[in-house]
């Protein structure tokens, strides 16, 4: 049971976080940096999906903040491929928050990342977790949820917030669907009850299916965010 003091503290924590997230978003928008908060359970394919997306994004320059409880393995993978990436460790916390991201963005020279392109897409891979990341804004323009046929089709019913808040859903590992009993109609029914509009794209990092379409959706969303931020007519 919550008492009123607990609720007041939680409101303060979220209020502080949301104010900083808004500042981060405002600052980055004006640098033509579009921020994607990538969420999903551990091992669902978040890093592999980023590699495929980054390969297919042509209009904008990509960079990545990797969020993990410990280790910099995903950052090593990305920098090994030439992707500008920085690691954030939470050392126990199960999600990223705005203060952690605000510190990490200081490590990027976005002008250099952008090069001659139309802007930057900053992907922030959140800590692998289907619950807590959905509760905290980190300055993102959109939340991209990676889920998978290996999780089971009941996840929108059991973990509703992440599905409700997603602006783009990647249904990953569809190459494995023939070997599983994933009920896609049941999954979509649960998802659509929470979230009628978000694009849902079937993907596979094994075959590359879906990532071209996802990259082009992300590029359109970035272009719209810059227009909405009053940044039309600012090509390279």
> Which residues of the shown chain bind ligand GTP in the complex (CB under 6 A)?
40, 42-48, 74, 128, 172-173, 175-176, 204-206
Per rule CB under 5 A, is residue 74 in the interface with Mg ion? yes
- Residue 44 contact, options Mg ion, ligand GTP, none, Cβ 5-8 Å cut-off depending on partner type: ligand GTP
Nearest approach in angstroms of CB 27 to ligand GTP is 27
Q: What is the DSSP string of 44-68?
A: SSHHHHHHHHHHH--SSEEEEEEEE
Burial of 203 (0-12, 13-18, 19+ CB in 10 A): buried
Question: Which residue has the closest beta carbon to Mg ion?
Answer: 47
Query: What, of ligand GTP, Mg ion, none, does residue 43 touch, CB below 5 to 8 Å by kind?
Result: ligand GTP
143 binds, among ligand GTP, Mg ion, none (CB under 5 to 8 A by kind): none
In degrees and rounded to multiples of 5, residue 112 shows phi and psi of: -70, -40
* Residue 196 C-beta: closest distance to ligand GTP, Å: 26
Task: Give the residue, chosen from 25, 47, 75, 204, that forms a contact with Mg ion under the rule CB under 5 A.
Answer: 47
Helix axes 73-80, 46-56, angle to 10 degrees: 20
Q: Which residues contact 21 (CB under 8 A, 6 or more apart)?
A: 98, 101, 136, 137, 138, 139, 140
Name the residue nearer to Mg ion (CB basis): 46 or 141: 46
The distance of Cα 160 from the centroid of its chain, to the nearest Å, equals: 17
Phi-psi region of 56 (alpha: psi -120 to 50; beta: other; left: phi over 0): alpha
Closest residue to bound ligand GTP by CB: 128
Q: Which two tokens stand for residue 219?
A: 């590029």
Using rule CB under 5 A, residue 46 touches Mg ion: yes
Shortest spacing between CB 206 and Mg ion, in angstroms: 16
Nearer to ligand GTP, 30 or 206 (CB): 206
Q: How far is the CB of 199 from ligand GTP (least distance, A)?
A: 18
* Shortest Cβ 151–ligand GTP spacing (Å): 11
Binding region for Mg ion (CB under 5 A): 46-47, 74
């Amino acid at each position: 049971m919550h008492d009123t003091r607990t609720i007041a503290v939680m409101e303060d924590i979220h209020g502080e976080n949301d104010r900083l997230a808004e500042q981060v978003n405002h600052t980055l928008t004006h640098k033509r940096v579009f921020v994607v908060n990538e969420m999903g359970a551990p091992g669902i394919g978040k890093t592999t999906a980023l590699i495929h997306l980054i390969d297919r994004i042509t209009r904008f320059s990509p960079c990545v903040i990797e969020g993990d409880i410990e280790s910099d393995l995903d950052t090593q993978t990305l920098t090994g491929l030439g992707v500008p990436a920085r690691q954030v460790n939470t050392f126990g916390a199960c999600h990223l928050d705005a203060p952690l991201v605000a510190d990490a963005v200081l490590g990027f020279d976005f002008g250099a990342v952008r090069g001659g392109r139309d802007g930057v897409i900053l992907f922030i891979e959140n800590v692998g977790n289907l619950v807590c990341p959905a509760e905290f804004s980190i300055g993102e323009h959109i939340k991209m949820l990676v889920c998978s046929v290996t999780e089971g089709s009941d996840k929108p019913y059991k973990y509703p917030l992440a599905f409700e808040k997603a602006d783009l859903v990647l249904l990953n590992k569809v190459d494995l669907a023939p070997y599983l009993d994933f009920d896609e109609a049941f999954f979509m029914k649960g998802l659509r009850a929470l979230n009628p509009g978000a694009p849902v794209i079937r993907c596979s990092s094994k075959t590359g299916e879906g990532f071209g379409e996802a990259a082009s959706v992300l590029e359109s969303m970035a272009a719209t965010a810059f227009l909405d931020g009053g940044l039309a007519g600012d090509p390279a």
